[in-house]
């Protein structure tokens, strides 16, 4: 039964390959993700007065894929994401306070994907368009009291994406998949004005131009619908566009 589901998970293309030559096929899907999100800055990691809390975020959106042959393809994801990072820090008054940063993105990823035998692997770049950033500092002694700090952040940043997963349930034209996706940011999130204020936290630490980047690790569930394929049958000399 398991082998049968794997064959069906290829959206019946593999079973048709004996009679037809498939050059390309397409699918679209909806996606939702949940997992760990955070900010990376070496100054904060090295500062004993700061402690990072594990924080989580969610994402949701859509995907479109074009595959060349049976197994290799390019997918484009457009996802709305909510990301968080919380810090516990020790202030000069000797007390501990919580600082909470939340940012919302429109994430666009262009990924190479290889999927076969019930398993897929993906990798590629992602650009995150920052929509809004908020800051909540529970320290009443802080001079910096702004809650909407979007203007102190760059408009976008780049990340590298790697993912792996497999099929859950499949029919001839519908496929569900569950995978793990990891993202590591290479682009600076804070702009020049934000660096003057020592963001992401208005801290007493001199950041010395250390970059603040984003990272995440999420479980991603996707539901895909096959649209059609381009190929030709064994008795035809001309390729044709087929629907499933």
CA 215 to chain centre: 9
The answer as to whether 48 is a domain residue is yes
| Domain count for the chain | 1
CA quadruple 193, 54, 136, 61: dihedral sign: positive
| 193 in any annotated domain | yes
Is beta strand 96-116 parallel, antiparallel or unpaired with respect to 119-137? antiparallel
The domain spanning residue 110 has which CATH number? 2.40.160.20
The string of pLDDT tens digits covering residues 114-171 is 988 889 999 999 999 999 999 988 777 766 678 899 999 999 999 999 999 999 988 8
Query: Is 230 within the bounds of a domain?
Result: yes
Domain region containing 160: 2-16+29-243
Selection from 22-31, 32-41, 185-194, 229-238 with the highest mean pLDDT:
32-41
Measure the CA–CA gap between 55 and 221, rounded to whole angstroms: 20
CA nearest to 210, candidates 81, 47, 36: 47
pLDDT in tens, 46-101: 888 888 899 999 999 999 999 988 889 999 999 999 999 998 888 777 788 888 99
- Cβ contact 11:185 at 8 Å: no
Evaluate whether residue 23 is within a structural domain. Answer: no
Position 89 in a domain: yes
Query: In this structure, are strands 72-90 and 119-137 parallel, antiparallel, or unpaired?
Result: unpaired
**Whole-model pTM?**
0.83
User: Could you tell me if 75 and 127 are in contact, meaning their C-beta atoms sit under 8 angstroms apart?
Assistant: no
Within a domain: 47:
yes
> Is 40 contained in some domain?
yes
């Amino acid at each position: 039964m398991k082998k049968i589901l794997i064959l069906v998970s290829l959206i019946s293309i593999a079973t048709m390959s004996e009679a037809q030559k498939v050059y390309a096929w397409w699918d679209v899907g909806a996606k939702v993700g949940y997992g760990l999100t955070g900010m990376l800055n070496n100054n904060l990691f090295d500062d004993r007065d700061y402690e990072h809390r594990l924080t989580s975020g969610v994402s949701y959106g859509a995907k479109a894929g074009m595959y060349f042959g049976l197994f290799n393809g390019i997918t484009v994801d457009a996802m709305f994401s909510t990301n968080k990072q919380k810090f516990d820090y020790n202030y000069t008054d000797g007390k501990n306070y919580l600082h909470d940063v939340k940012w919302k993105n429109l994430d666009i990823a262009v990924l190479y994907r290889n999927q076969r035998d019930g398993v897929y692997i993906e990798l590629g770049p992602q650009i995150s368009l920052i929509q809004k950033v908020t800051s909540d500092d529970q320290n009443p002694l802080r001079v910096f009291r702004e809650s909407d700090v979007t203007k102190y952040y760059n408009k976008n940043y780049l990340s590298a994406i790697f993912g792996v997963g497999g099929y859950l349930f499949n029919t001839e034209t519908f496929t569900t998949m569950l995978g793990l996706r990891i993202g590591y940011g290479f682009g600076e999130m804070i702009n020049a004005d934000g660096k003057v204020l020592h963001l992401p936290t208005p801290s007493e630490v001199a950041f010395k131009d250390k970059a603040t980047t984003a990272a995440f690790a999420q479980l991603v569930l996707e539901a895909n619908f096959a649209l059609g394929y381009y190929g030709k049958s064994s008795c035809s000399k001309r390729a044709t566009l087929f629907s499933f």
